Amino acid sequence: MIAQGAQVEHAEFGIGKVIAILGDTATVDFLGETIDVDSDELLPRNNVSNLAGSTAGPKQLNDVAFRKAFEAVNLGVVPGEPEQLVNLTIGGNAASKEIEALLSGADTHGLCRVFMGYYGSGKSHHLQLVRAVALSQGWVTATIELDPKAADPAKPSTVYQALMSGLEFPEKADGSKNIDFIDLVKEIRDHWDAIRSLPYFKRSPWFSYGLEALLNLSHRRDDTAYVAAVSWLQGQVKQISAIRSISWRTGHRRAIPSMPQTKDNALVYAFHLVVLSEILKALGYKGLAIVIDEAEHVRTYSFNRYIRANNFFDVISRCAHKPQPKLRKPDCDYEYEFSIPDFWKEGPHFALFVGLTEGEDTQDLKRKAGEMSVLIHDEDDVLHLHAPSGADYEQWCQHFLEQTSTKLGPRVAMLSDAGLRARLAATLRHHFEETPEEDRILRQWTKMVGFIPALLMSRDTAMDADELVQLLSAAAGQISGEFMPWDE
């Protein structure tokens, strides 16, 4: 008997919770969508208690999170939930421990890592894993994908704005956390006495003058003038009039400088990031971890844009490394009326992780590591990504299929057979190893294991184990290049 509040499964709609029952019709919440179905079509979730106060809520949340991760795998994109990201990474636990170890030594040894590999090798996935681990370790992360039209390293102001918009904060001990930059400003205001005396903060007229002006107003999200002024500090450079208006209206007469948009101004925006990192550490966070993907875009730039982009990369890379006195002063032809400290000679200030697709500038094995990119100072900065071994891939496939058998509903129930899961994983491993190592695009092979439950969920009729293995082998053979779709 299906009761109100029960956790149920439906052959078409998957896992849900019964909201109400009227006669033979049950109203069920399926992953956030309310649908009326015949109660005879529902199967009770026997492994979940229906009593009030049970753990059914968290269990359902885990199922929803896995379903989202499953769809991400099928699309070839990175799962968004940190827990599922680690769970669905090949060698995820080991990789997470390595990242934790790197982060723990960042303040002492510096931390700049460039994930290098070809298309589909897992660069974006590893960067998102870094983000998830960093958040779990108490770091604030700023994550972006470089884009010539939105976040262009030849225009550092756009990168700074994108990084500030991409800030994510770890959960605090009391369970609360900041949602965005506006929440961070509130936290700064609450700890103003500790922040106002920070060395770099005092030397930054943008942060120090700007925040002093904001203190004259109440922190209110519904105050459009206040929010506009905060957004200027966040990188909305055209809102300079908003912050200056507050400054003058409240009798704060210091001249707040504009944020430059022209010339080579990489030093200014790198300094902003250094100040931000200093503030975060003073507030009790471990620090700032910057995650940048798609760094290879600069290869297509014109000469002048390429030089400016690389100058920005050079400065932020220095900020992530231990000081190297022999390096020359970074280029900066932007004229400002105040002095910026030589912050690039100190530090390290923050952690930096970058995704860079292999190209002509990285293929020459005789070149020194530092000649591949200004981001790289020594060989330890580079992590070349390679496809996993056949054994590791097979083990991951079995783990993934075991997860799907309990979280994707009755249509994939046959995957609860451990023997079948082993056959399917061995089939995928065989074709994976038949593919030349240089042609193993990891993204395709992770999508292949998602093909199995997707195939079962799309069929209205039952399928036996032999047919499933045969269909999988045919599809995997096409992916590996052993034969083409039109071959008999």
Place of tokens 């002048």: 304
Would you say 49 and 55 are in contact if contact means Cβ atoms under 8 Å apart? Answer: yes
Place of tokens 């399926």: 30
- Categorize the per-residue pLDDT at 42 as very low, low, confident or very high, splitting at 50, 70 and 90: confident
Q: What is d(CA 110, CA 130) in angstroms, rounded to the nearest whole number?
A: 16
Q: What is d(CA 313, CA 373) in angstroms, rounded to the nearest whole number?
A: 9
- Categorize the per-residue pLDDT at 114 as very low, low, confident or very high, splitting at 50, 70 and 90: very high
Q: What is the pTM of this model?
A: 0.77
Q: What is d(CA 295, CA 384) in angstroms, rounded to the nearest whole number?
A: 15
What's residue 463's pLDDT?
87
Question: Which of the residue ranges 96-110, 276-290, 369-383 would you say has the lowest mean pLDDT?
Answer: 369-383
Sheet hosting strand 140-145, strand order edge to edge:
167-168, 140-145, 288-293, 351-357, 112-117, 382-384
What's residue 255's pLDDT?
81
Higher pLDDT, 191 or 386: 191
- Torsion, CA 314, CA 320, CA 322, CA 325, rounded to 10: 20
What's residue 488's pLDDT?
54
Tokens encoding 339: 């002095």
The DSSP symbol for 130 reads H
Question: Which of the residue ranges 32-46, 94-108, 455-469 would you say has the lowest mean pLDDT?
Answer: 32-46
How does the average pLDDT of the chain come out, rounded?
84
The residue type found at 10 is H
Residue 198: strand, helix, or coil: coil
Would you say 147 and 294 are in contact if contact means Cβ atoms under 8 Å apart? Answer: yes
Average pLDDT over residues 403-414: 88
What's residue 144's pLDDT?
93
What's residue 51's pLDDT?
31
Residue 329: strand, helix, or coil: coil
Average pLDDT over residues 367-376: 65
What's residue 54's pLDDT?
32
What's residue 52's pLDDT?
31
Res. 459: pLDDT tops 80: yes
- Categorize the per-residue pLDDT at 470 as very low, low, confident or very high, splitting at 50, 70 and 90: very high
Please provide residue 333's backbone torsions phi and psi, each rounded to the nearest 5 degrees: -105, 15
Report CA torsion sign: 295, 300, 301, 306: positive
